[in-house]
Every structure is written in C-alpha cells, then in structure tokens.
C-alpha cells in the first residue's frame, strides 16, 4: 500500500483507480481518521435515540445495554451531546434522554466535529481546525492535495448523512440475514 502511494506521488506510476482509493482509505485509518471510542459511542447512542424518536425518553440503562456501552462513559457522552444541542434529558424516576431535534436535522459531521474535532486526515487541509504543516511548500504538496480530496469526500458524506439516515440503514440491515464472520489464520 505505502509503496504504491509513494510511487504514485513521486514517480507518477498510476495504479488502477480502485487500488488508489482502497489504499487511500487504508492510509486514512493510519493517519488518524479513525473515530475514537467516544465518537463511535456518541453515534451509537444517537442511533438508539433516533430509533426511539417520538416515543418519549429512553433510559440510559437501555442505551447502555442495547449498544454495550459502559454506563458511566455513556453519561459523559450524553452530557457532551447535550452541549451540542443534539439531546435533552429529563430527570427523575421516569427520566432519560431523547433527541433535542428531529433526527434528520442532526448530521454525522456535526457530531463527529463536536466529539473528535477535525474531519480532515491532516490539519493543513482542515477548514475549521487548520494548522500549518511542516512540508516545505504547502501550496505544491501532492500529499496535501490528495488529503484535501479525502477530507472533502469524508466531509461531504458526513454532512449529508443524518441520524435519520443511520436509523433507516439500521432498519434495512435488520432485515438482511446475518452472515457468519469467516476468519482465516
């Protein structure tokens, strides 16, 4: 993977388009585009709340059990999502959490930016969290150029994907038969 990308940038050897995309996606994971556990749990909690949208509040214990999220960690995450304005809570014996806005009005991008920071794989291509990079010529850096495309692709997908879309996908996937994972050693 790394050799093909280096050959592409330094020597102009162009591998098939599908290979470049696959390699870039693998590289993104290596340079920090992977969600933290906190970010993943935030999205999973919002999924549960989205699936229960309109049903009243959902107890934190329910979210914790359905998504296998430690309750204390989930409390912190839900408080963070309250500060984003994505969820609201009700105290008391009949208390719990619910979405503060309709699920179609909460984008994955807003949640990930709030919990993780930049969507960009490198800070020199971030629109909201820009930091100068260490390359000698930022304007002509081929790696920066590709990472900007990656950021635009990731941001585009996350900006147009909402909690409602996640819920719809979850319902659709629920209808498909589960396949056994095949591990080869």
Range of the domain at 92: 37-104
- Domain membership of residue 151 (yes or no) is no
What is the rounded distance in angstroms from the CA atom of residue 91 to the CA atom of residue 112? 26
Mean per-residue pLDDT, 81-94: 92
22 plus 80 within the same structural domain: no
What is the rounded distance in angstroms from the CA atom of residue 136 to the CA atom of residue 111? 34
- Which three-class secondary structure string do you get for 6-17? HHHHHHCCCCCH
77: Cβ–Cβ under 8 A, 6 or more apart, which residues?
A: 38, 41, 42, 45, 69, 115
Between 182 and 47, the higher pLDDT residue = 47
What is the rounded distance in angstroms from the CA atom of residue 73 to the CA atom of residue 106? 22
- Domain count for the chain: 2
Which one of 48, 75, 104 terminates a domain? 104
pLDDT at 53 > cutoff 60: yes
Query: Residue 61's closest CA among 43, 82, 77, 75?
Result: 75
- Residue 126 — pLDDT band, cuts 50, 70, 90? low
53 plus 90 within the same structural domain: yes
- Domain membership of residue 1 (yes or no) is yes
Between 154 and 121, the higher pLDDT residue = 154
Most confident of 11-20, 114-123, 124-133: 114-123
Average of per-residue pLDDT values in the chain = 79
Give Cα separations from 79 to 40, 54, 92, 104, 122 (angstroms).
15, 20, 16, 21, 28
89: Cβ–Cβ under 8 A, 6 or more apart, which residues?
A: 57, 78, 82, 95, 96, 97
Classify each residue of 23-57 as buried b or exposed e, where b means 16 or more C-beta atoms within 10 Å of its C-beta. bbeebbeeeebeeeeebbbbbbbbbbbbbbbeeeb
- Residue 45 — pLDDT band, cuts 50, 70, 90? very high
- Residue 116 — pLDDT band, cuts 50, 70, 90? confident
The pLDDT of residue 80 is 95
pLDDT above 90 as % of the chain: 45
Which one of 57, 88, 104 terminates a domain? 104
Instruction: Tell me the whole-structure pTM to 2 decimals.
Output: 0.73
H helix intervals, 7-141:
17-31, 37-51, 60-67, 71-84, 108-116
Question: 89 - beta bridge partners?
Answer: 97
15 plus 71 within the same structural domain: no
13: Cβ–Cβ under 8 A, 6 or more apart, which residues?
A: 7
Whether 95 and 57 have beta carbons less than 8 Å apart is answered as yes
pLDDT at 68 > cutoff 90: yes
């Amino acid at each position: 993977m790394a050799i093909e990308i280096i050959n592409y940038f330094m020597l102009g050897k162009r591998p098939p388009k599908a290979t470049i995309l696959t390699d870039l996606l693998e590289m993104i994971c290596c340079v920090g585009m992977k969600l933290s556990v906190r970010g993943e749990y935030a999205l999973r909690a919002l999924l549960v709340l989205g699936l229960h949208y309109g049903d009243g509040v959902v107890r934190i214990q329910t979210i914790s059990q359905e998504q296998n999220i430690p309750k204390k960690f989930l409390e912190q995450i839900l408080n963070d999502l309250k500060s984003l304005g994505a969820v609201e809570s009700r105290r008391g014996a009949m208390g719990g959490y619910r979405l503060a806005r309709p699920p179609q009005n909460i984008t994955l991008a807003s949640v990930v930016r709030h919990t993780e920071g930049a969507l960009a794989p490198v800070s020199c291509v971030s629109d909201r969290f820009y930091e100068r990079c260490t390359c000698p010529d930022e304007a002509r850096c081929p790696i920066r150029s590709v990472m900007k495309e990656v950021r635009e692709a990731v941001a585009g997908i996350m900006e147009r994907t909402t909690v409602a879309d996640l819920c719809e996908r979850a319902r659709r996937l629920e209808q498909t038969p589960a396949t056994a994972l095949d591990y080869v050693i």
